[in-house]
Amino acid sequence: MNRFLAILERDLRKFIRNPLVVAMSLLMPIIYLVILGNSFQGELKRLPVAVVDLDNGPYSRKAASLLHAVSAGPGTLEITRVADQGFAIEGLKEGVFKAVIVIPNGFSRDVLRRNLSEVGLYLDNAETISAMTVRASVTSALAELKNEFVSIREERAATRVRDMELYRKIDYDQTLIPGVVIMAIFLGAMTTGAFNMVMDKFLGVEESYFLTPLSKTDIVIGLIASGLLITTTLALIVLFLASLISGLFFWDGLSVAAFGIMLAVIILSTLGLQGLMFIIMGRVNHPRIVGVLGGFLNVILFFPSGAIYPIESFPGWLKVFAFVNPETYSVHAMRALLFKGAGLEAVQGDIAYLLVFAVCSVLLGMALFKRSL
Amino acid sequence: MLAIETVDLVKEYGSLRALSGVSLSVPEGEFFGLLGPNGAGKTTLIRILTTLLRPTSGTARVMGHDASKESGLVRALIGVVPQAMTSDLDLTGYETMDIYARFYGMRRRERGERIDELLEMVGLKDRAKDLVATYSGGMRRRLEIARGLVHKPAVLILDEPTIGLDPQSRHVVWELLESFRKADSLTILLTTHYMEEAESLCDRVAIIDYGKIAALDTVPGLKKQIPQKDSIELGISGVDMERAVDWAKSVPGITNASYRESSLLVSSDHGAEAIPALVDGLKSLGARVSRVVLKEQTLEDVFIHFTGRPIRDEEAKKVSFLLGAGVPAKWGK
């Protein structure tokens, strides 16, 4: 009993003696939140669009003012009037504009005669996301140009859609919180527990541990316990900091019971990943391999977890991967708890999966651990 | 009771025989040395005794317990100082000792007293709160010796404890081992290839080569077993060299004599005692003795006698290139 606690104490002491590791373990997920939350924003803003009015009639002026309203209101577009079409297209090619809208000569006449009136939209479709946004924004702006005409070759929606948000307003960077917490857990699991075993092997220190009465279970449980303690603490600090930074104060919206469930999700996710690391790194004897594996595992666990992109849009093979990936369940559970005010019923499936995964991976990791040189 | 006993110990790695039938008996309280060239099987033998390896056949017993069948018991009875430095750099000296003491289930108070006592003895008390990373090689080794003794083991096993240390640190380690042995009536098994170390510390020495014991005795006993004796070289003049050689051969205690230019070369079992008689006798023959050089037989002569001069073919270490040991040599060509 006392023995695994000695290993636990050893690891905790070694961890706090490396403040840079502590700092980076906290900083990395937070930086991720700040950079990703601000660069990869949910809604795009200030996309430069050139408007070339070749008609110069009443309806073309109205169309232009509707577009200006978009730039003044939601700010999705930034409209520049350009007299020469060739010059505007040149600007599009050079990346000055994301799109060029050409209102052709005779546009007002077509609108009045209720002919099919068309506006030309040149898109920089090398940037898919901004092209999609510009098209949607221009279409909806011009739809308001009375019913007399059909805008840019697209059928006007017969029914208007009014957004009814199910949960309280959530910003994009706030939706990243579960992902950031799971990233903190992953980094913690990567740099504690099994990693200490790899370092002991690399430094040749393990021999002296094997010479003592420590059993295989003492060693593995001690390493996992220290990793669990460190990683859970890191994850909670990251959750707190991410809350502060993104302005989603979880302590306002989360009941004590829900926070307890959240803690259980964090602990089970950590245990599962700790066990997984023991399975993967059981025979690794060089920290460089851990570095390479770290990047690799982060990509294959984090991105398919649904933390930044919905799983439903994945191709089939990736969905299968997401289905077995424990991080998927952690992210799902944390999202439900943080944003949807869900209780145990909503996340019990996630918890069950995480529990089974944790037990299996820890037992397998323990079985694979080799208590000999 | 025998502290260490091995019977026909064999260890094979594939086709390579690291140990081929080693039988040893070390009584309690003895300081036993294991001498041998690199790759002779010393570390394999130590690793079997310390439960890290299982022998292919034969038995190894420590304080009456089988090292492979009762490994838990054996581990609690032995203290080991491995060849490589194995202390964690980012712990302090005291923490290292305390954590190890807990592996043996020692109580807090008992630990505190024992650790203070040991750190005092190895001269690290003032540095107990410093990180091991700040220690010199000699200090680290002393800490590891203290660590090996923290649970008051019955047997202390050291694998080349002074390798890579400067002469000062080496002497400190020797003094420590002597004092621990007296204080705790400890059985000590030590491997080394420093002859001086074996000669000054060990009650008995086994010379091991090619996985077998080539010789086993006290140091004086081993010296008697080999033909090379002390040799004396006398620079003489004013006498016929042939005549001096004939005369020298007749002196009691001299086993052989010859000459080279103006040097008379004499072999003797006890070189130092033979010198006065030789010098007096040569003077009475009318010779002038200009210099005397005595070369005493050393354990190194014994070692070379039993192990020969050629460097051993050592087994290539098994490493997995997949796990970071680089590509196999044949790919590098």
Q: Does one domain contain both A52 and A31?
A: no
Q: Does one domain contain both A238 and A351?
A: yes
pTM: 0.79
Q: What is the pLDDT of residues A324-368, one digit of tens each?
A: 999 999 999 998 898 887 788 889 999 999 999 999 999 999 999
For residues B103-140, b (16+ Cβ closer than 10 Å) or e, as one string?
Answer: bbebeeeebeebbeebbebbebbebbeebbeebeebbb
Backbone angles phi, psi at B13, to 5 degrees: -110, 100
- Cα distance between residue A78 and residue A45, in whole Å: 8
Report the pLDDT value the prediction gives residue A150, as an integer from 0 to 100.
47
Choose from B53, B75, B83, B102 for mutation: most chain A CBs within 10 A.
B102
Residues of B with Cβ-Cβ distance to A283 under 8 angstroms: 320, 323
Cβ of A207 within 8 Å of Cβ of B82? The answer is: yes
- Cα distance between residue B17 and residue B32, in whole Å: 24
Report the pLDDT value the prediction gives residue B320, as an integer from 0 to 100.
61
Which of B82, B89, B324 is facing A285, going by the closest CB pair?
A: B324
State the smallest CA–CA distance between residue B303 and chain A in angstroms: 30
Residues of B with Cβ-Cβ distance to A372 under 8 angstroms: 52-53
Report the pLDDT value the prediction gives residue B325, as an integer from 0 to 100.
53
Cβ of B91 within 8 Å of Cβ of A210? The answer is: no
Report the pLDDT value the prediction gives residue A163, as an integer from 0 to 100.
64
Backbone angles phi, psi at B235, to 5 degrees: -85, 115
Q: Does one domain contain both A358 and A276?
A: yes
Rg of chain B, C-alpha, whole Å: 25
Size of interface A-B (CB pairs under 8 A): 81
Chain centre distance of CA B78: 18
Residues of A with Cβ-Cβ distance to B51 under 8 angstroms: 211
Report the pLDDT value the prediction gives residue A306, as an integer from 0 to 100.
86
Q: Does one domain contain both A32 and A176?
A: yes
Residues of A with Cβ-Cβ distance to B115 under 8 angstroms: none
The structural domain count of chain A equals 2
| CATH 3.40.50.300 domain extents, chain B | 2-223
The correct answer on CATH 3.90.1150.10 for the domain covering B2-223 is no
Report the pLDDT value the prediction gives residue A301, as an integer from 0 to 100.
92
Q: Does one domain contain both A21 and A57?
A: no
Which of A2, A205, A208 is facing B105, going by the closest CB pair?
A: A2
On whether the CB atoms of residues B34 and B47 are closer than 8 A, the answer is no
Q: Which residue has the tokens 């010859």?
A: B258
Please indicate, yes or no, if residue A77 is contained in any of the structural domains: yes
**Per-residue pLDDT in tens (0 to 9) along chain A, 373 residues:** 678 999 999 999 999 898 898 888 888 888 888 887 777 666 677 889 999 998 888 888 888 888 888 888 778 888 888 888 888 988 888 888 888 998 888 888 887 777 677 888 888 878 777 888 888 888 888 877 754 444 455 444 445 556 666 666 667 778 888 999 999 999 999 989 999 999 999 988 999 999 999 999 999 999 999 999 999 999 999 999 998 888 888 888 788 888 999 999 999 999 999 999 999 988 888 888 898 998 899 889 998 898 877 888 888 899 999 999 999 999 999 988 988 877 888 899 999 999 999 999 999 999 999 888 7
Q: What is the pLDDT of residues A260-291, one digit of tens each?
A: 999 999 999 999 999 999 999 888 888 888 98
State the smallest CA–CA distance between residue A196 and chain B in angstroms: 11
Q: Which residue has the tokens 């700092």?
A: A23
Q: What is the ipTM of this complex?
A: 0.83
Residues of B with Cβ-Cβ distance to A213 under 8 angstroms: 72, 75-76, 103-105
Q: Does one domain contain both A70 and A28?
A: no
SS (H, E, C) A54-69: CCCCHHHHHHHHHHHH
Which of A10, A203, A207 is facing B99, going by the closest CB pair?
A: A10
Interface of A with B (CB under 8 A): 2-3, 5-7, 9-10, 13-14, 17-18, 203-205, 207-215, 283-286, 288-289, 372-373
- What the block records as the tokens of A37 is 């939350």
Nearest CA in chain B to A206: B86
Residues of A with Cβ-Cβ distance to B72 under 8 angstroms: 213, 215
Please indicate, yes or no, if residue A309 is contained in any of the structural domains: yes
Low-confidence ranges of chain B (pLDDT < 50): 332-333
Q: Which residue has the tokens 């303690």?
A: A229
One-letter amino acid identity for A113?
A: R
Choose from B62, B103, B107, B155 for mutation: most chain A CBs within 10 A.
B103
User: Looking at residue A224, what DSSP letter applies?
Assistant: H
For residues B48-69, b (16+ Cβ closer than 10 Å) or e, as one string?
Answer: bbbbbbebeebbbbbbebebee
- What the block records as the tokens of A55 is 């008609």
User: Looking at residue A341, what DSSP letter applies?
Assistant: -
Q: Does one domain contain both A238 and A354?
A: yes
Cβ of B82 within 8 Å of Cβ of A211? The answer is: yes
Q: Does one domain contain both A248 and A354?
A: yes
On whether the CB atoms of residues A325 and A305 are closer than 8 A, the answer is yes
| CATH 3.30.70.100 domain extents, chain B | 229-296
Report the pLDDT value the prediction gives residue A167, as an integer from 0 to 100.
66
Report the pLDDT value the prediction gives residue A247, as an integer from 0 to 100.
83
Cβ of B90 within 8 Å of Cβ of A211? The answer is: no
User: Looking at residue B258, what DSSP letter applies?
Assistant: E
- Cα distance between residue B96 and residue A316, in whole Å: 53
Q: Does one domain contain both A35 and A67?
A: no
Q: Does one domain contain both A71 and A204?
A: no
Three-state DSSP at B292 gives strand
Residue A113 sits in a domain whose CATH number is: 3.40.1710.10
B 247-306 → A contacts, CB under 8 A: none
The correct answer on CATH 3.40.50.1100 for the domain covering B229-296 is no
Residues of A with Cβ-Cβ distance to B91 under 8 angstroms: 10, 13-14, 17
- Cα distance between residue A51 and residue A60, in whole Å: 10
B 104-133 → A contacts, CB under 8 A: 104-105, 131
User: Domain containing A95: what range?
Assistant: 47-143
Q: Does one domain contain both A115 and A211?
A: no
- Cα distance between residue B134 and residue B137, in whole Å: 10
Cβ of A286 within 8 Å of Cβ of B323? The answer is: yes
Q: Does one domain contain both A60 and A189?
A: no
- The last residue of one of the domains, among A96, A128, A143, is A143
Cα separation values, A9 from B86, B261, B312, Å: 18, 73, 44
Cβ of B75 within 8 Å of Cβ of A18? The answer is: no
On whether the CB atoms of residues A250 and A338 are closer than 8 A, the answer is yes
